[in-house]
Amino acid sequence: MPGLLSTPRPVPGRRAPALAGAAVVVLALPVFLIAGFPLGGWGLAAVLWLAGEALGLWLTRLPLGADHLGFSGFVALGHSFRGIGVIVVLLAVTVANRDVGIAALAVYAFAYTLSLGVSLVEYFGGERAG
């Protein structure tokens, strides 16, 4: 266990976590249809997930490192905005329509949690760098 967090590892890929989160969103649709949950909540979660992943994909294409400090800062702000933007939208929708907002929050939270879990498994299960 010593060195678990201090051992350098390559950055995990984005494909598996993104697909895992997308699978949660897609599989939530039949649950919403059968259970009678508001479809607006599912739709909002799907749009937020897609927009967040599109922003993340665009940000990964920008150059990083000491030679590109401006872009590195922009990428950091972009990733922060990604999370903050989702929270602001979900909060505003929940205030306006409680049922839709909570439904969207539940789907997005499950998708994000699974995506994060897959990413952590890839990171800690991967080869050590150096």
**Listed residue (85, 26, 22) closest to 53, CA to CA:** 22
DSSP 14: S
Please report, for the chain, the start and end positions of each structural domain, with discontinuous segments joined by +. Answer: 37-125
Size of the chain, expressed as the number of residues it contains: 130
- pLDDT tens digits, the chain, 130 residues: what are they? 556 666 777 777 889 999 999 999 999 999 999 999 999 999 999 999 999 999 988 888 878 777 777 777 888 888 888 889 999 999 999 999 999 999 999 999 999 999 999 999 988 887 766 5
CB 49 within 8 A of CB 41: no
DSSP H helical ranges for 36-97: 39-60, 69-96
